[in-house]
Amino acid sequence: QVQLVESGGGLVQPGGSLRLSCTAPGFNLDYYAIGWFRQAAGKEREGVSCISSFDGITTYADSVKGRFTASRDNAKNTIYLQMNNLKFEDTAVYYCATDTLSNCRYSSKNAVVMAPDAHWGQGTQVTVAS
């Protein structure tokens, strides 16, 4: 059973920064695209970012473009999401997920999506409040 583990969430003021981490003990993430998703209370889960495997190509939702940066450190088997200039509307539980492919996949509306049998983490809470 593959289990992803997110960390780095917390409480931050608007304009602040956080860096989320995603790792998978005992499972090599090198070969798979990794997506970051978030779900705010009462809202549907949305794709935030995706980073492909070998070439590290990243994509972002319009709502976070220019503020969030995804990266991966294969030596540490860890994927990061650097979040800068955080806004109230970024408050959500953030999840990482590993696809079954090395490239990211998208819906017809260009949103990041994962394979049905993707592996997910348990989520980490990010709260932006003054």
Is it the case that residue 10 has pLDDT exceeding 90? yes
The predicted structure's pLDDT at residue 2: 86
What are 72's strand-pairing partners? Answer: 79
Distant-in-sequence, close-in-space partners of 62: CB < 8 Å, separation ≥ 6 = none
Tokens at residue 42, please?
């009462």
Please give the average per-residue pLDDT across 70-97, as a whole number. 97
The predicted structure's pLDDT at residue 54: 84
Please give the average per-residue pLDDT across 55-66, as a whole number. 95
The predicted structure's pLDDT at residue 11: 98
In whole angstroms, what is the distance from residue 110 CA to residue 112 CA?
7
Rounded alpha-carbon distances, angstroms, from residue 83 to 3, 14, 63, 68, 90:
23, 11, 12, 4, 9
